[in-house]
Amino acid sequence: MNRFYVLPEFINENIIMITGQDVNHVKNVLRLKPEDELVCFDGKGTEYLCSITSIEKDLVKTRIISSKKADTEPAVKITLVQALPKSSKMDYIIQKAVELGVHKIIPVSTERTIAKGTKLERWKKIAKEASEQCGRAIIPEVSLTMNFNEFLCMSMNFDLKLIPWENEKQISLKSVLKKHSDAQNIALLIGPEGGFSAQEVKEAVEQGFKPVSLGKRILRAETAGVAAIAMITYEIS
């Protein structure tokens, strides 16, 4: 069934109003009509089965048939801290991370980061569309870009802090997750195309991050985070 994110202010006791670009999607892409059903979600965990009552120029009005708390979220909250990659790779990372259940995404700039500038509104739109597509009832937050040390200074509130690193040959992600199977709030710090510098890894370790291996092969920047999120949710959720 077609799903749409709706801001809480457009949801009342019996009616939900769909606005913005989603109106065009309802009218001209999906060609839905009054009495057709769709699902709306509020980004905070509640889904609403709705029936369209009217379609206007800039507004689609719906009637709430039923509501429920969604059960699509993983038990563990993963914050992906992703060093900015080149070109449009961040688009792919955000899309796949949202599909896999990430709770929050923090872009960071590092010593070897090449990408310049950020596309926050674009990234938020990608997170929204990925949530709609994959059946989630929340939209993971995409934060403003931080520098590496700025993030380290505010990283104390995580149960488990992981930094996959190609020079870590002994300690696997799986072994660390087995020792911390009760972790509920995990930070996953992923480097750029050139990897983290030795100094950055040293500083991260001083702040409680655990270097881990993701396997015998070196993964691309746009692959490492996605692979690690899948491993974590499989082992812990």
Give the start-end residues of each E strand in 58-117. 60-69, 77-83, 104-109
Residues of the chain with CATH 2.40.240.20: 3-69
Q: Is 207 helix (H, G, I), strand (E, B) or coil?
A: coil
Residues of the chain with CATH 3.40.1280.10: 77-236
Least confident window among 57-66, 85-94, 116-125, 202-211:
116-125
Average pLDDT over residues 59-81: 93
**DSSP designation for 57:** S
CATH of 77-236 among 3.40.1280.10, 3.10.129.10, 3.40.50.300, 3.50.50.60: 3.40.1280.10
Could you tell me the pLDDT band of residue 14, with boundaries at 50, 70 and 90?
A: very high
* pLDDT score of 218 more than 90: no
Q: List residues bridging with 190 in a β-sheet.
A: 82
Which sign does the torsion angle of CA 95, 100, 104, 109 carry?
negative
Is 211:190 a contact under the CB 8 Å cutoff? Answer: no
138 CB neighbour count, 10 Å cutoff: 20
Task: Specify the pLDDT at position 128.
Answer: 94
Q: How far apart are CA 63 and CA 61, in angstroms?
A: 7
* pLDDT score of 115 more than 80: no
Please give the model's pTM, rounded to 2 decimal places. 0.87
Nearest CA to 78 out of 203, 215, 195, 237 is that of 237
Look at domain 3-69 and name its CATH class. mainly beta
